[in-house]
Structure 1
Amino acid sequence: MIRLTLSEIAERLSGSLHLSETDATGETIVDGPVETDSREIVPGGVFVAKRGDDTDGHLFVGAAVDRGAALAIVEHPVKDAIAQIVVSDAVIALGEFAQFVVERVRSAGDLTVIGITGSNGKTTTKNMLERILSEEAETVAPVRSFNNAVGAPTTMLRITESTRYLIVEMGASGIGHIARLVELAKPDIGVVLKVGLAHAGGFGGIESTLAAKTEMVADLDTDSIAVLNADDARVASMADKTRASVLTFGENESAMIRATDIVGTRTGTTFIAHAPDEEPVKVRLRVLGEHHVSNALAALTVASTLGVPLARAAAALETLERAERWRMEVLGGKDDVTIINDAYNASPDSMAAAIKTLAQISEPSKRTIAVLGAMSELGEYSGDEHDRIGLQLVRLNISRLVVVGPEARRMHISAINEGSWDGESVYFGDMDAAYDYLAAEIIPGDTVLVKSSNSAQLRFLGDRLGELFSW
């Protein structure tokens, strides 16, 4: 974080500054990382004591002090010996703090802020873009999927005076969430990847999801740039809802940065990238799944906008070994068994894409096994969407289906009702039973996909299978 005095922070947050015995004035400077988890505090850091669903951050101010925190942002004074700024709402204060820091760095330096949203692909695109831009200049991007009202500001607060690029992943579970993050970060470039049914239950339907994602570009300034997916009609329609200049990516021939000759294998995906006034470049992604080509194109479009030549950006992409932990992560290898652990998140679109990848990358003579758990937060769409996945598995001729957990059982029933299978689909109520079955069922040459929403926790089952078949 940039260097700020206690008084500067308190004034911006409209908070009441309470000094400790070692801080006689408000001119003490803090510049350590800002955290909401006391376990992440390092000496000189700032602890934000937010209230959670299960606990209260104020209970951990003492732990933050023990780890060397220099400042606590709290909603009521605490007895621990530390400088404190008392605010009415710690989460709102965190956002205002982040906005203050971004404004200060932007006014004094050459900071470019890139916001990324979409129903799928945010984290992968963020990682791809970070890999490209970090080769060019100092770049700050979210850790894991820090994309909400807490995670996004925490990322923003990591910038320094020398940061050239700030990438902010912007997620939402309701109307107004992305608009708030846009207000805080004021992106110079806003990227929209896809509008799908992820979190549709919370949004109330696909049209509400579209409205929420449109918030990314609706408030961009006229000198900003909106980067839109030309292959998604809903995203493409946002061109009429923004004052910013519009650039597009996709397989569509109208796209500014587009892909042709896409080939997916067990070792990754290749395609030819085309950009105006540049020679076409062959891109070799080590990340599994043709659906990641769209994410790569989004990253290449942003990079091109920032003056990075297509060939140099493509070379940087080729060094990215995986999208993220538990996202199309390739494990195993022993006995030619491939475990694809993609169980950190799941929406109908990402589930369908992962199953399609499973079918595409397996050799015709080898078996494919889909180990699937529930897709959460679909609301009234949940039943139909789980049915659709069950039918897709049969129609793509996946060799075995292993459904885990009562919330996902409908996929198992749908696959059986399709009438094409005879015992190829099995159901287990818990992960231990599924693991015991798979440990005995998997044979040399099998390719196994493990996919579910985070709440189903099948990522841990994927890790166990990966360890079982590791060299």
Structure 2
Amino acid sequence: MDRRASWIATAVGGRLLGDDVTVGGPVVTDSREASPGSLYVARRGERADGHSFVASAAGRGAVCALVEHEVPGAGLAQIVVPGSTAALGALAHAHLEDLRREGPLDVIAITGSAGKTTTKDLLAQVLTRRAATVWPRMSFNNEVGVPLTVLGADAATRHLVLEMGASAAGDLASLTRIAAPDVAVELMVGTAHLGGFGSREGIMAAKAELVEGLRPEGTAVLNADDDMVMRMVPLAPGPVVRFSACQGVAAEIRARAIDVDEDDRASFTLEAPDGTARVRLRLVGRHHVRNALAAAGACHVLGIGVEEAAAGLSAAGPLSPHRMAVSDLVLDGRRVTLVDDSYNANPDSMRAGLEALRSLSRGRRMVAVLGEMLELGPDADRLHREAGLRAAELGIGVVVALGPGAGALAGPELGGRRTAHVDTPEAAIDLVGGILEDGDVVLVKGSNGSGAWRVADALVQAGGAR
């Protein structure tokens, strides 16, 4: 970003105090990430007030700060606004619109109850092979992460890939006002954040805000295998491109001859209006076929031919941590395989993770450390119980349920299998360390807030990933 403080003040409707400095560094919301030329955004959080760290940001080189009140003696220019988070969004919007006036720039936004980050990573790796592409390297999909990603784009950027999440109605509408997409990708309507929406119909209405927020004549890329996603077709302001991994479903982008190797990596024939090409994914899990199709659909809209898209998808690897990362470990002489999918979880992704564990086991004992799935509302016990039953159906020999609300994962209906329920990641680490046997395949999966990722990190640290 290379903007004068006065330009920023105008963009956010704020009042500039101090010199009209040039912001030539990154925009940050954590003072510890400030560097020479940075703009620091002082936000009020649940645990801390960012205004307490304005001087600290200045000490690390920040030259300007967005604040809700003046911070005396902070040693940098300040722009006073009614709300720092809203101002961050307004700044990103102004920056994006300015870039769009300067040259060609496509914005591709991706949402869905599961698969957003993987699809974003796949698509970004294809696009970056042909033109400058900006995308979040982590799951930056909310009112802070999306603006920060947008503000990372510059005049050289030709593709901006955004992941957009929703915890409540109106979230996606707000994000599309910041960055209206040229291409909107809808992956699935599942049961993530069910507690915030009440029903799949409520989730569908919220996810549809992405399609409704498209720029005029923007294109919706929709999962034809999901009945709720297909209900969004009439809401699209422009063309619709459908993708499908199922036989007999009408779609422009299709997967044929799907095959899964012994490492649970899928290959398939990608069919598009301009031809066919073979794709061999480097990602673990058959469910990634649909994520790859979604990325291929966006590529088609952007004018990328089927052979180029297939080559890019085949070359793309996992980028984000704790997402179906497979490691071979040695723990006190016991050789085990860790499947770390612990970044987040909902009922849909939990089922996919359990099925991937089954595919990878190849006759070895399966152990599942399953963290609590959060934000499921009154259906939480039922949905956890269903996940536990699925684990039993798949023959998973040991289930460790992690978190106060995860008990139903290890209920008596799992039959004669070994189960345990612990409340903390530390307890899970101690328990798992004592029950693993040579040859085990271990899945660690759970909502981020359950701390399941701590269990995965402890196993990797103890076993030396190889």
Q: TM-score, normalised by structure 2?
A: 0.95
Residue in 1 that maps onto 2:273: 276
Match of 1:128 among 111, 122, 127: 122
- 2:306 paired with 1:310: yes
Q: Secondary structure at the match of 1:285?
A: strand
- Which moved further from structure 2: 443-452 or 52-61? 443-452
Deviation at 1:404, TM superposition (A): 2.2
Alignment of 1:218-297 (within 5 A): 218-252=212-246, 253-264=249-260, 265-266=262-263, 268-278=265-275, 280-297=276-293
| Contact 1:390–1:411 (8 Å) recurs in 2 | yes
RMSD, aligned CA: 1.6
| Contact 1:143–1:155 (8 Å) recurs in 2 | no
Change in CA separation of 1:319 and 1:460 when aligned onto 2, cut-off 3 Å:
farther
Deviation at 1:438, TM superposition (A): 2.4
Distance of 1:49 and 1:406 partners within structure 2: 34
Q: Secondary structure at the match of 1:85?
A: strand
Deviation string 1:306-354 (CA, Å, 9 cap, x unpaired) is 1222222222223333252011111224465210111111100000111
| Contact 2:401–2:407 (8 Å) recurs in 1 | yes
| Contact 1:222–1:245 (8 Å) recurs in 2 | no
Alignment: residue pair count: 458
Distance of 1:58 and 1:243 partners within structure 2: 42
- Which moved further from structure 2: 171-180 or 319-328? 319-328
Deviation at 1:165, TM superposition (A): 0.5
Distance of 2:181 and 2:38 partners within structure 1: 26
Distance of 2:102 and 2:259 partners within structure 1: 45
Letter in 1 for 2:348: D
Deviation string 1:99-133 (CA, Å, 9 cap, x unpaired) is 00000000111111111111111111111111011
Distance of 1:433 and 1:10 partners within structure 2: 50
Deviation at 1:442, TM superposition (A): 2.1
Distance of 2:462 and 2:48 partners within structure 1: 36
Residue in 2 that maps onto 1:118: 112
| Contact 2:22–2:37 (8 Å) recurs in 1 | no
| Contact 1:326–1:341 (8 Å) recurs in 2 | yes
Q: Secondary structure at the match of 2:25?
A: coil
Letter in 2 for 1:357: A
- Which moved further from structure 2: 7-16 or 67-76? 7-16
Distance of 2:307 and 2:463 partners within structure 1: 37
Match of 1:330 among 318, 326, 331: 326
| Contact 2:137–2:319 (8 Å) recurs in 1 | no
Distance of 2:439 and 2:417 partners within structure 1: 21
Alignment of 1:134-149 (within 5 A): 134-149=128-143
Distance of 1:409 and 1:267 partners within structure 2: 29
Change in CA separation of 1:423 and 1:185 when aligned onto 2, cut-off 3 Å:
closer
| Contact 2:140–2:163 (8 Å) recurs in 1 | yes
Letter in 1 for 2:277: V
| Contact 2:16–2:77 (8 Å) recurs in 1 | yes
Change in CA separation of 1:12 and 1:427 when aligned onto 2, cut-off 3 Å:
closer
Residue in 2 that maps onto 1:358: 357
Deviation string 1:373-427 (CA, Å, 9 cap, x unpaired) is 10000011101101101111111111221222322111111xx225xx3242223
Letter in 1 for 2:16: L
Residue in 2 that maps onto 1:411: 409
| Contact 2:181–2:214 (8 Å) recurs in 1 | yes
- Which moved further from structure 2: 426-435 or 445-454? 426-435
Deviation at 1:12, TM superposition (A): 1.8
Distance of 1:333 and 1:314 partners within structure 2: 32
| Contact 2:27–2:38 (8 Å) recurs in 1 | yes
- 2:55 paired with 1:62: yes
Distance of 2:379 and 2:321 partners within structure 1: 28
Distance of 2:309 and 2:462 partners within structure 1: 37
Distance of 1:15 and 1:358 partners within structure 2: 52
Gaps of 5+ in 1: none
Letter in 1 for 2:196: G
Distance of 2:258 and 2:433 partners within structure 1: 34
- 2:461 paired with 1:464: no
Letter in 1 for 2:358: A
Deviation at 1:147, TM superposition (A): 0.7
| Contact 1:15–1:87 (8 Å) recurs in 2 | yes
Change in CA separation of 1:384 and 1:284 when aligned onto 2, cut-off 3 Å:
same
Alignment of 1:189-204 (within 5 A): 189-204=183-198
Deviation at 1:242, TM superposition (A): 1.6
Deviation at 1:443, TM superposition (A): 2.4
- 2:44 paired with 1:46: no
Gaps of 5+ in 2: none
Letter in 2 for 1:71: C
Q: Secondary structure at the match of 2:231?
A: helix
| Contact 2:369–2:444 (8 Å) recurs in 1 | yes
Deviation at 1:267, TM superposition (A): 5.4
Deviation at 1:191, TM superposition (A): 0.8
Alignment of 1:76-91 (within 5 A): 76-79=69-72, 80-91=74-85
Change in CA separation of 1:289 and 1:81 when aligned onto 2, cut-off 3 Å:
same
- 2:25 paired with 1:32: yes
Distance of 1:402 and 1:226 partners within structure 2: 41
Change in CA separation of 1:380 and 1:255 when aligned onto 2, cut-off 3 Å:
same
Match of 2:430 among 436, 439, 459: 436
- 2:99 paired with 1:105: yes
Identity of aligned residues (%): 42
- 2:392 paired with 1:394: yes
Letter in 2 for 1:277: D
Residue in 2 that maps onto 1:9: 8
Q: Secondary structure at the match of 1:337?
A: strand
Deviation at 1:5, TM superposition (A): 1.7
| Contact 1:76–1:87 (8 Å) recurs in 2 | yes
